[in-house]
């Protein structure tokens, strides 16, 4: 009987960005606003198509190493626990199958005293080979940080 190869350790997630901020609104209000805020805070996202209440797809245009790439983006909301937590799994694919990436963005809303809410945003990446990680990790980190900044700003404006 042939031996099976050991698949090795499960791919570890690499944290790209994390941001914690406070909003002067209840977790329920933040929950109602955050979906719209996220979509309006993503620079370079085009042709957004909502497939159902938990899935969407779009084209994400990013510039890396001076080259403009149009990535296919598929998103799926997971781990949904209103109004406390949800995450979005993102699947990205470069043209001609150059590379694929799997990213997870998690949002947690924690009630604070006096009607405020603490919002924690965290982005991680999995299943990204060495070369794409080397070429794109900085770009992905910068994109996640700027997106979290935009989400914070917009939530504070609307709260």
Domain ranges of the chain: 15-158
pLDDT at residue 4 tops 50 = no
* Record: fold of 15-158: Alpha-D-Glucose-1,6-Bisphosphate; Chain A, domain 4 (3.30.530)
- The answer to whether residue 18 scores a pLDDT higher than 80 is yes
Decide if 159 contacts 116 (C-beta within 8 A).
no
Q: What spatial distance separates the first Cα and last Cα of the chain, rounded to whole Å? A: 64
Under a CB-based contact definition with an 8 Å cutoff, are residues 8 and 102 in contact? no
- pTM, rounded to two decimals: 0.82
Summarised one tens digit per residue, pLDDT across range 23-34 is: 999 999 999 999
- In this structure, how many other beta carbons lie within 10 angstroms of the beta carbon of residue 89? 17
């Amino acid at each position: 009987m042939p031996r099976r190869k050991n698949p090795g350790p499960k791919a570890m997630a690499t944290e790209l960005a994390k941001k914690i901020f406070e909003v002067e609104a209840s977790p329920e209000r933040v929950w109602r606003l955050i979906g719209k805020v996220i979509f309006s805070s993503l620079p370079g996202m085009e042709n957004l198509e909502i497939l159902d209440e938990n899935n969407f797809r779009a084209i994400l245009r990013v510039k890396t190493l001076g080259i403009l790439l149009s990535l296919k983006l598929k998103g799926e909301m997971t781990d949904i626990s209103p109004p406390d937590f949800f995450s979005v799994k993102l699947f990205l694919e470069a043209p001609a199958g150059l590379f694929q990436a799997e990213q997870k963005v998690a949002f947690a809303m924690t009630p604070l005293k006096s009607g405020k809410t603490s919002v924690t945003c965290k982005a991680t990446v999995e299943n990204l080979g060495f070369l794409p990680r080397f070429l794109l990790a900085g770009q992905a980190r910068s994109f996640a940080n700027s997106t979290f900044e935009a989400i914070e700003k917009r939530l504070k404006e609307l709260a």
